[in-house]
Chains A and B, each alone.
Chain A
């Protein structure tokens, strides 16, 4: 699973390190994402470039997570489910005999 994720070395050091550091939303408890944090986790749409607090790390991670889910995990999962279903039907047919007319 973790193979598709970027190696740790590629992360900017100040963001990737430090348990208590105010990385990402600075929400170490992982609780309510909208909480009293040092900075807004979702900066206003107007001029994110102008905002020095824009979290490039989080933006990158969100895109990577989306791409992984859409192009790797969901297809692999879908194939695995179909394959598993096919094997189940085959095993069932070992006992019930070959498929009959209409079924």
Chain B
């Protein structure tokens, strides 16, 4: 065994006698291209609706609640899928979020949210986590689609146009401050301080 390792270590650290630099370099490059493609494909797959709703926790709770909302079906046929709002689009934060999802894998394995009641019990905690995230990043995931500069206040309701042109414009409020519970049902807001 030691001999085997030593022999391969020598093969590794010494110039190849039988394979050309061209083969080794181009072969390594092609291997890298294939790897990067596969990596991104796998990463994108974990961002799909199919993947997110692959377990009953997600399919029976948040996904059911999303479907009647305007973010799922609407006249223009544009859909916000799970990852559009819940996974950062920036690469570094996306990687961090993907690793954070290991906690969700843990919860899935041990059935942390196995039933509807368990989901309802946890709803406030789950919602708070997302609210604080959107509050901290100035509703970045909303703004990936909804551009303040493209808002026509005259086509908004009077109340909405007023709020957008004052509080949102001044930066004292961000989308999530008013638009809670737009894609999933609200928790019991009596427990949430105004």
Q: Which residues of A contact B191 (CB under 8 A)?
A: none
| B84 on the A face (CB < 8 A) | no
User: Besides A16-B3, A64-B8, A74-B35, 9 other CB < 8 A contacts?
Assistant: A5-B8, A42-B17, A61-B8, A61-B11, A65-B8, A66-B19, A66-B27, A98-B132, A99-B96
Q: Bound state CA distance, A43 and B17, in angstroms?
A: 8
For residue A95, CB closer than 8 A to chain B, the reply is no
| Contact yes or no, A98 B31, CB < 8 A | no
**Shortest distance from the beta carbon of A12 to any chain B beta carbon, whole Å:** 13
Residues of A near B110 (CB, < 8 A) are none
What string of 1s and 0s marks CB contacts (under 8 Å) between A1-35 and chain B?
Answer: 01001001001000010010001110000100100
Q: Is A79 an interface residue (CB 8 A)?
A: yes
Give A75's nearest chain B residue, CB to CB: B35
Q: Is B28 an interface residue (CB 8 A)?
A: yes
Within 8 A of A (CB), among B2-49: 3-5, 7-8, 10-12, 14-19, 24, 27-28, 31-32, 35, 39
Number of interface residues of B (CB under 8 A): 38
Known interface pairs A24-B10, A101-B138; A62-B1 also in contact (CB < 8 Å)? no
In the assembled complex, A50 has its CB within 8 A of some CB on chain B: no
B residues at A contact (CB < 8 Å): 1, 3-5, 7-8, 10-12, 14-19, 24, 27-28, 31-32, 35, 39, 88, 90, 92-93, 95-100, 132-133, 136-138, 140
Q: Are B4 and A2 in contact (CB under 8 A)?
A: yes
A37-78: contact bitstring with B at CB < 8 Å (1 yes, 0 no)?
A: 000011100000000000100110111111001110011001
What's the nearest-Cβ distance from chain A to residue B187, in Å? 19
Give the docked Cα–Cα distance between A78 and B95 (Å).
13
Q: Are A58 and B95 in contact (CB under 8 A)?
A: no
Shortest CB-to-CB span from B16 to chain A, Å, is 5
30 contacts between A and B (CB under 8 A): A2-B5, A19-B3, A30-B10, A33-B15, A58-B17, A58-B18, A59-B17, A62-B18, A63-B19, A64-B8, A65-B12, A66-B27, A70-B31, A74-B28, A74-B32, A78-B35, A78-B39, A79-B39, A82-B95, A85-B95, A89-B93, A89-B99, A90-B96, A93-B96, A98-B137, A99-B88, A99-B96, A99-B137, A100-B136, A101-B137
A101-B140 in contact (CB<8A): yes
| Interface, chain A (partner B; CB < 8 A) | 2, 5, 8, 11, 16, 19, 23-25, 30, 33, 41-43, 55, 58-59, 61-66, 69-71, 74-75, 78-79, 82-83, 85-87, 89-90, 93, 97-101
Whole-angstrom CA separation of A61 from B7 in the bound complex: 9
The CA-CA distance from A6 to B9 in the complex, in Å, is 14
Is there contact, CB below 8 Å, between B138 and A8?
no
Contact between A55 and B17 (Cβ–Cβ < 8 Å)? yes
Docked pose: A100 CA to B18 CA in angstroms: 54
